[in-house]
């Protein structure tokens, strides 16, 4: 059965521009673990969005790797961008989300120049259809209401109510990433990508931590439309580590992949 969130008093966006490359996070960024912290999805999307704006036409973001250097305070943050490898064919750019003078998140993004269509076409296989919205909704994985969870519509094909080690869900972000700017397909994809480990949790998340210190998203093409599909699976090792992999799609077919190593600990 599918399920989704209904949000009252919905914020204008995940972030409010505050001038001089500073962004103020709203309640929509709220982590399920700490109301004073941000979920990793919105900062990931914000850094990629700002990096993407520095790259000229004819290049497309192909991969972004994000390192979470600790809990991300839900306070105003400045985004600092540095080109590391300028180029006309490939370009590497780094960005930092700086809160209270400390880098809380670091992202590195590779852009690759687009070119002529290759002589071989990869078949697009669409994911399962988007389920109908149910008449009632339940808490995501049994968690109480929290900003990030409510800012996204979740329609599950598998999983969503209890830890299973896998989940398949269609998502639709309800609000813009940045107030006053139209949300893009890239924004939508990266806002939800970091949710893969929580969606496919193997242990009760009220009792166990499943923390990804880093995440990598590789994109085959530019996302299209409002809906993003995640097919997630988490595996655990016997020494307190884990790994999550997710295939990301839109209604037209596969978009790319998400990879997250995990710290697994009892709370």
Q: How do residues 56-67 score in pLDDT, each as one tens digit?
A: 899 999 999 999
Residues of the chain with pLDDT under 50: 1-7
Mean pLDDT of the chain: 92
Q: Is residue 7 part of a domain?
A: no
Sole residue written with tokens 């997710």: 246
pLDDT tens-digit profile of 77-123? 999 999 999 999 999 999 999 999 999 999 999 999 999 999 998 88
CATH number at 231 reads 2.40.160.210
* Phi, psi for residue 116 in degrees, rounded to 5: -65, 155
Full residue range of the structural domain in which residue 21 is found: 15-114+134-266
User: What is the C-alpha end-to-end distance of the chain, expressed in Å?
Assistant: 30
Report yes or no on 34 lying in a domain. Answer: yes
Residue 55 counted as domain residue:
yes
CA 16 vs. chain centroid, Å, equals 18
Question: How many Cα atoms occupy the beta-carbon half-sphere of 176 within 13 Å?
Answer: 12
Instruction: Show the 3-state SS of 116-143.
Output: CCCCCCCCCCCCCCCCCCCCCCCCHHHC
Please indicate, yes or no, if residue 138 is contained in any of the structural domains.
Answer: yes
- Count of structural domains, the chain: 1
Residue 140 lies in a domain: yes
Query: Does 83 map to a domain?
Result: yes
Per-residue pLDDT, 2: 36
Residue 217 belongs to what H/E stretch?
Answer: strand 214-219
Is residue 128 included in any domain, yes or no?
A: no
* Residue 215 structure tokens: 């995440």
CA distance 230 to 45: 16
The answer to the question of residue 161 being in a domain is yes
């Amino acid at each position: 059965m599918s399920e989704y969130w209904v949000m009252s008093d919905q914020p204008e966006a995940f972030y409010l521009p505050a001038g001089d490359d500073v962004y103020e996070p709203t309640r929509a960024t709220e982590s399920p673990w700490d109301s004073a912290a941000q979920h990793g999805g919105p900062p990931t999307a914000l850094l990629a969005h700002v990096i993407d704006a520095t790259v000229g036409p004819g290049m497309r973001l192909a991969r972004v790797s994000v390192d979470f250097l600790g809990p991300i305070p839900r306070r105003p943050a400045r985004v600092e961008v540095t080109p590391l490898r300028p180029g006309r064919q490939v370009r590497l750019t780094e960005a930092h989300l700086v809160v209270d003078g400390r880098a809380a998140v670091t992202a590195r993004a590779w852009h690759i120049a687009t070119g002529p269509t290759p002589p071989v076409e990869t078949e697009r296989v669409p994911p399962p259809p988007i389920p109908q919205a149910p008449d009632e909704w339940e808490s995501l994985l049994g968690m109480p209401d929290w900003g990030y969870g409510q800012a996204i519509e979740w329609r599950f094909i598998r999983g969503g109510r209890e830890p299973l080690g896998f989940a398949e869900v269609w998502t639709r972000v309800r609000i813009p990433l940045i107030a006053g700017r139209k949300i893009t397909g890239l924004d939508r994809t990266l806002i939800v990508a970091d949710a893969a480990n929580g969606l496919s949790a193997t242990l009760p998340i009220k009792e166990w931590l499943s923390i990804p210190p880093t995440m990598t998203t590789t994109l085959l093409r530019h996302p299209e439309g409002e809906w993003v599909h995640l097919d997630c699976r988490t595996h655990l090792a016997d020494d307190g580590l884990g790994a999550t992999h997710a295939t990301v799609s839109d209604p037209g077919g596969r978009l790319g992949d998400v990879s997250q190593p995990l710290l697994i600990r009892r709370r």
